[in-house]
């Protein structure tokens, strides 16, 4: 019996040794054939949870950003091979935020099975900015692209609706300069009707995405008409102070290109400026004024501003002595001594100071009309040929006695 017990005990020892060896061999084989290793997964999309909770509190994320993270995991080669990276989910929770500010939120990872360890998350935190939710209303502007058919032009546009509502972070709303859409009219020869998608832009023309526009699209009608070039007519009102007069008025540009429907354009030969009140001017003046456009007429490729220069001078008077009177319509059947036309006549003239100062006696022509005179003494009126921008105030003497004989 003792011998049998001894044999049985030896057998058990052999079994234990065999198990140990088997486990060691299994560990060796697994470690050699299916080792543990690190695996990196990049650009895992980050889900933002509980945004609706923010909205209930009147808060909103200031930026509409698609966040991503990179992760590193460790596991057996076989396990990593079977791991579908699409099952890995990343999220941040904004549900605990209750006021405006900047927050660093921890990234939570799920979808990693047992046997695989999460080693790292890059970045492990994501910074989000939270603002109060605001609203606003802005007019719609349309950018017209392309060029209509030759000889045609865009005259303007209408949108339905004319303005839209905006929802978004208060700071974002305050940075919005305009709400705009685009309409292409290339080659058009009649009105263009299209639907345009709207976008928000800041003062530098950068698009602002984190804002909701209601409605996001508008119906646009772009009016197309014919064009013509017409003169600018400067309009003044009132009178200059006594002793002053306008020497010249210059408008820049002196002509503009206008557009209108055919039935309107044919009746427009010029466009007037806004009236300029000259009642207090005593010197040269420059004014920028707008144009008063007839209904249905618009300015093409320019603005509505006209620079008007008005030159104003004093009105002066001056006396000149003319020593010779000319004649017209001298009768051929009468004898008239020409010496009797040599006489001094004093004329008083008035005009702008610059015009009077450059006037000389050789430019002042006095004459008398001999038509119909008879023999003997004839008392005739002395007249002056018109001088541009100069007026005759007085003449002494105003008459001449002309003696004629046969």
- pLDDT tens readout for residues 108-130: 999 999 999 999 999 999 999 99
On whether the CB atoms of residues 224 and 153 are closer than 8 A, the answer is yes
**Computed over its alpha carbons, how large is the radius of gyration of the chain?**
49
Fold for the domain defined by 323-405: RNA Polymerase Alpha Subunit; Chain A, domain 2 (2.170.120)
| Percent above pLDDT 70 for the chain | 92
State how far the alpha carbon of 352 is from the alpha carbons of 65, 314, 358, 384, 394, in Å: 73, 6, 10, 19, 17
State the pLDDT at residue 32: 55
State the pLDDT at residue 63: 87
State the pLDDT at residue 20: 66
Residue 92: pLDDT over 80:
yes
State the pLDDT at residue 289: 96
Span 63-81, pLDDT tens digits: 888 999 999 999 999 999 8
Could you tell me how far CA 377 lies from the centroid of its own chain? 80
Span 39-54, pLDDT tens digits: 999 999 999 999 999 9
Q: Distance between CA 204 and CA 66 in Å, rounded?
A: 24
Q: Which residue is it, tokens 């000149």?
A: 320
State the pLDDT at residue 7: 55
How high is the mean pLDDT of the chain?
91
On whether the CB atoms of residues 337 and 377 are closer than 8 A, the answer is no
Span 308-360, pLDDT tens digits: 999 999 999 999 999 999 999 999 999 999 999 999 999 999 999 999 999 99
Secondary element (H or E) of residue 212: strand 212-214
Residue 26: pLDDT over 70:
no
Q: Distance between CA 171 and CA 102 in Å, rounded?
A: 13
CATH, domain 133-226, list 2.170.120.40, 3.40.50.150, 2.60.40.10, 3.40.50.2300: 2.170.120.40
CATH, domain 36-123, list 3.30.310.50, 3.40.250.10, 1.10.10.410, 2.170.120.30: 2.170.120.30
The highest-level CATH class for domain 234-314 is: mainly beta
What count of Cα atoms within 13 Å lies in the side-chain half-sphere of residue 299?
18
Q: Is there a common fold for 234-314 and 323-405?
A: yes
Would you place residue 22 in the very low, low, confident or very high pLDDT band (cuts 50, 70, 90)?
low
DSSP annotation of 99: S
Q: Distance between CA 125 and CA 334 in Å, rounded?
A: 122
Q: Distance between CA 395 and CA 382 in Å, rounded?
A: 8
The reported pTM is 0.57
Residue 12: pLDDT over 80:
no
Q: Distance between CA 327 and CA 324 in Å, rounded?
A: 10
Q: Where are the domains of the chain?
A: 36-123, 133-226, 234-314, 323-405
């Amino acid at each position: 019996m003792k011998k049998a017990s001894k044999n049985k005990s030896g057998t058990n020892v052999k079994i234990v040794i065999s198990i140990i060896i088997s486990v060691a061999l299994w560990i060796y084989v697994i470690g050699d054939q299916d080792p543990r290793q690190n695996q990196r997964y990049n650009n895992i999309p980050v889900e933002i949870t509980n945004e609706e909770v923010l909205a209930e509190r009147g808060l909103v994320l200031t930026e509409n950003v698609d966040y991503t993270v990179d992760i590193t995991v460790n596991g057996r080669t076989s396990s990593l091979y079977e791991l579908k990276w699409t099952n890995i989910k990343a999220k941040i929770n904004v549900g605990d935020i209750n006021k405006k500010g900047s927050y660093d939120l921890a990234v939570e990872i799920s979808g990693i099975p047992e046997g695989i360890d999460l080693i790292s998350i890059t970045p492990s935190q994501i910074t989000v900015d939270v603002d109060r939710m605001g609203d606003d209303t802005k007019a719609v502007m349309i950018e017209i692209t392309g060029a209509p058919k030759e000889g045609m032009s865009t005259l303007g546009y209408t949108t339905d609706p004319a303005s839209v509502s905006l929802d978004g972070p208060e700071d974002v709303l305050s940075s919005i300069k305009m709400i705009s859409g685009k309409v292409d009219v290339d080659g058009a020869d009649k009105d263009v009707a299209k639907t345009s998608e709207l976008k928000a832009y800041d003062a530098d023309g950068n698009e602002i995405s984190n804002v909701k526009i209601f409605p996001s699209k508008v119906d646009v009608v772009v009016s197309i008409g014919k064009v013509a070039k017409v003169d600018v007519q400067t309009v003044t009102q009132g009178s200059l102070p006594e002793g002053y007069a306008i020497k010249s008025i210059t408008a820049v540009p002196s002509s503009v290109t206008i557009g209108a429907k055919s039935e309107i354009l044919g009746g427009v030969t010029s466009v007037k400026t806004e009236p300029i009140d000259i009642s207090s001017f005593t010197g040269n003046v420059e004014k920028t004024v707008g144009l008063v456009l007839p209904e249905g007429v618009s300015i093409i490729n320019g603005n509505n501003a006209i620079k008007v220069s008005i030159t104003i001078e004093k009105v002066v008077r001056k006396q000149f002595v003319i020593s010779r009177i000319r004649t017209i319509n001298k009768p051929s059947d009468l004898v008239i001594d020409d010496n009797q036309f040599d006489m001094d006549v004093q004329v008083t003239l008035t005009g702008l100071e610059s015009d009077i100062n450059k006037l000389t006696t050789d430019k002042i022509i006095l004459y008398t009309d001999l038509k119909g005179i008879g023999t003997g003494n004839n008392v005739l009126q002395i007249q002056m040929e018109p001088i541009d921008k100069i007026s005759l105030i007085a003449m002494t003497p105003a008459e001449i006695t002309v003696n004629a004989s046969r």
